[in-house]
Amino acid sequence: MSVSLFDLSGKTALVTGSSRGLGRAFAEGLADAGARVILNGVDTTRLEEAAAAMRLAGRDVLTLAFDVTDEAAVVAAFETFDRDGIRVDILVNNAGIQFRKPMLELATADWRRVIDTNLTSAFLVGREAAKRMAERGSGKIINIGSLTSELARATVAPYTVAKGGIKMLTKAMAAEWAEKGIQANAIGPGYMITDMNEALLANPEFDAWVKARTPARRWGRPEELAGTVIYFASAASDYVNGQIVYADGGMISVL
């Protein structure tokens, strides 16, 4: 097998929610494999800071701030790409939010916000990307799931439902779009060191639980997911479609 199977030179990748955390690590990995990357988020200051740091490291980076839950904004983003002659060859649907609240105390608006940000966004952005990929007869979509694509956990019901949905949306994309030359796969990270888990990382009991239950005995580092996203973004996975890979230090195997 040739290393060039993983070469992304000449490709453009849009990574939603890539101003920080896992999205930024995905963007850095794809850029290091040769892709031009488009960073996205809602906080424009944070977005431009991330882009500046990546450019300093020699990476080819564009930015476009838009809210992935806003259908009109998503459509407008792709119209901007069309106008500027930018072809999104690789889409990573990564933007997400999480907060903890028991279902009996959960407001409907908060349920909808979590579902919209973690699941409906992947449909909205995926649909715009796939229209263009289908015209060209090729494209790679990588949806970011979670251990909760497989397992329910208390106090994160809408997140769990959204991530379970990501797993099935990935299969639905594969079922409908494989014949158009598009591969859609998903990554299910375990417990990772990012802002999303700031409170949990600072909680000694939760930290001990993660370390005890993860066979790797530690939290994951965002950069450890880069190889998985490069695989799904590259020619190395051209006949792999509709799959979810858990990158979780082995946790899902023992829970």
Interacting positions 119-148 with ligand NDP (CB under 6 A): 144, 146
Least gap, CB of 14 to ligand NDP (angstroms): 11
Rg of the chain over Cα atoms, rounded to whole angstroms, equals 17
Kindly tell me which residue out of 160, 183, 197, 228 binds ligand NDP, with binding defined by CB under 6 A. 197
Structure tokens at 107: 């407001």
Measured distance CA(4)–CA(108) in Å, rounded: 48
Catalytic residue among 159, 191, 231, 246: 159
Q: Is 71 in the site for ligand NDP (CB under 6 A)?
A: no
Nearer to ligand NDP, 7 or 150 (CB): 150
Kindly tell me which residue out of 13, 30, 64, 117 binds ligand NDP, with binding defined by CB under 6 A. 117
User: What pairing do the DSSP bridges indicate for beta strands 182-189 and 139-144?
Assistant: parallel
Q: Is 23 in the site for ligand NDP (CB under 6 A)?
A: yes
Interacting positions 40-69 with ligand NDP (CB under 6 A): 40-43, 46, 67-69
Letters for 143-172 (x = contact with ligand NDP by CB under 6 A, - = none) are -x-x--------------------------
Task: Tell me, yes or no, if 246 is annotated catalytic.
Answer: no
Q: Is 21 in the site for ligand NDP (CB under 6 A)?
A: yes
Least gap, CB of 4 to ligand NDP (angstroms): 29
Nearer to ligand NDP, 166 or 174 (CB): 166
Binding site for ligand NDP (CB under 6 A): 16-23, 40-43, 46, 67-69, 94-98, 117-118, 144, 146, 189, 191-192, 194-197
- Residues labelled as active-site residues: 159
